[in-house]
Amino acid sequence: MIKSAAVVNYAPEKGSVEIREINKPEIGEDDVLLEVVNVGVCGSDLHQWTADHSWPVNYPVVLGHEFGGHIAATGSRVKNWKEGDRVVSETAAIINPDSPMSRAGLYNLDPDRKGFGYGVDGAMTKYVRVPARCLHHVPGQLSFEQACLTEPCCVAYNAVVENSRIKPGDRVIVLGPGTIGILCAAVAKLCGANVAIVGLETDRHRLDIARQYGVEPITGDATEWAKRKDGLGADFIIDAAGASITLKIALQLVRPNGHITKVGWGPQPLGFSLDPLVQKNVTLQGSFSHNWPVWEKVISLLASGSLDVKPIIGGVWPITEWHEAFEKMHKGEVVKSVLKPV
Ligand SMILES: [Zn+2]
């Protein structure tokens, strides 16, 4: 049996991640075996490592859900895919195809959904088992270092386009300059909005990277920018910070009848009044994951170069050096770390 190194999250305690040698996975008749070329490190991988996540994890599990590579083998019932195809994979590894959400094409919201990297083994290893329905073709001109970031781009596209419907000329403030925040800002720019992104003093490096997308970086208080046009506030606030308290800031910055989309997670309870939401007649929208049409749109944006993820990639590490790659992202020294199987 061929063994491969894998980044395994083995227990719920903080720091329970290590390299283990694992067997090549068996595939079912509707699956492909995907040979991973690159896998992105996600904030949620970091959250599982530092044990401040708020979702159930099926320990031990191989981390990683942002990945692309070549098809190495196909199950007996797999049609339209063949060995050698360049692909990226969606994250909903397990869904109930008969649930009303799945039947509506919103399988990302199926309560039975289980994703790579927490529900089933993910891609921080050489081979991963992937249901064929998760696959999308990657055009030849798009490198895997970039293509493996299709997933966070889809999170941003779903938050900004599908769940916010931003229009040209809108004033948009993104809270939190992590990967999702910067990509939300970049997609809002593609929609023709005026965009600012807000971070802390310690986020300076990440805010500088955001500047490359033509968005205005703001450290600390964004009230002046929010009110600059007519004194009323921003049309849209995209909350991509990993804390609940930023909703309070969003409620301050949004204009009457404006819209807040929350895409960042934070398990802490809220400790403030939601009265401004009522008084300002504000729409509060959650945004979770993505589905097939979003992936197709994002891949075409990446392939054409309209959406360029190169500025956020802080480096590529072999998976055996996962700790350095995680640490650099955790400290905010890089926006996005990318790994490569060994
Ligand atoms: Zn992710």
Query: Could you list the pLDDT tens digit for every one of the 342 residues in the chain?
Result: 679 999 999 999 999 999 999 999 999 999 999 999 999 999 999 999 999 888 899 999 999 999 999 999 999 999 999 999 999 999 999 999 999 999 999 999 999 999 999 999 999 999 999 999 999 999 999 999 999 999 999 999 999 999 998 999 999 999 999 999 999 999 999 999 999 999 999 999 999 999 999 999 999 999 999 999 999 999 999 999 988 889 999 999 999 999 999 999 887 888 999 999 999 999 999 999 999 999 999 999 999 999 999 999 999 999 999 999 999 999 989 999 999 999
15 CA from centroid of ligand 1 (Å)? 19
227 CA from centroid of ligand 1 (Å)? 33
226 CA from centroid of ligand 1 (Å)? 29
What's the CA gap between 96 and 110, in Å, rounded? 7
229 CA from centroid of ligand 1 (Å)? 34
pLDDT value, residue 180: 96
In three-state secondary structure terms, 277 is: helix
68 CA from centroid of ligand 1 (Å)? 13
CB-based neighbours (< 5 A) of ligand 1, an ion: 42
42 CA from centroid of ligand 1 (Å)? 4
What's the CA gap between 195 and 174, in Å, rounded? 7
What's the CA gap between 153 and 170, in Å, rounded? 21
275 CA from centroid of ligand 1 (Å)? 32
319 CA from centroid of ligand 1 (Å)? 17
pLDDT value, residue 244: 82
pLDDT value, residue 70: 98
Q: Which of 110, 83, 67, 108 is nearest to 27 (CA)?
A: 83
117 CA from centroid of ligand 1 (Å)? 10
The answer to whether 165 and 287 have CB atoms below 8 angstroms apart is no
What's the CA gap between 90 and 79, in Å, rounded? 18
In the block, which residue shows the tokens 């004033």? 171
Its sign, for the CA torsion 207, 211, 215, 221, is positive
277 CB-contact burial (10 Å; exposed 0-12 / middle 13-18 / buried 19+): middle
257 CA from centroid of ligand 1 (Å)? 31
120 CA from centroid of ligand 1 (Å)? 15
195 CA from centroid of ligand 1 (Å)? 23
Beta strands in 81-131 (DSSP E): 86-89, 127-131
Tokens of 117: 């990297």
203 CA from centroid of ligand 1 (Å)? 20
In three-state secondary structure terms, 298 is: helix
Residues linked to residue 137 through DSSP beta bridges, in sequence order: 87
276 CA from centroid of ligand 1 (Å)? 31
CA 205 to chain centroid, in Å, comes to: 20
Report the run of H or E that residue 72 belongs to, with start and end.
Answer: strand 66-74
Task: Report the 10 Å Cβ neighbour count for 315.
Answer: 15
159 CA from centroid of ligand 1 (Å)? 14
153 CA from centroid of ligand 1 (Å)? 9
152 CA from centroid of ligand 1 (Å)? 5
pLDDT value, residue 52: 87
Its sign, for the CA torsion 135, 138, 143, 146, is negative
pLDDT value, residue 162: 97
pLDDT value, residue 266: 80
Tokens of 140: 């030849």
Q: Which of 71, 88, 62, 84 is nearest to 5 (CA)?
A: 62
191 CA from centroid of ligand 1 (Å)? 22
Q: What is the pTM of this model?
A: 0.96
65 CA from centroid of ligand 1 (Å)? 6
pLDDT value, residue 268: 84
Q: H-type helices in 127-245, by residue range?
A: 144-147, 150-157, 179-190, 204-211, 223-227
150 CA from centroid of ligand 1 (Å)? 9
263 CA from centroid of ligand 1 (Å)? 12
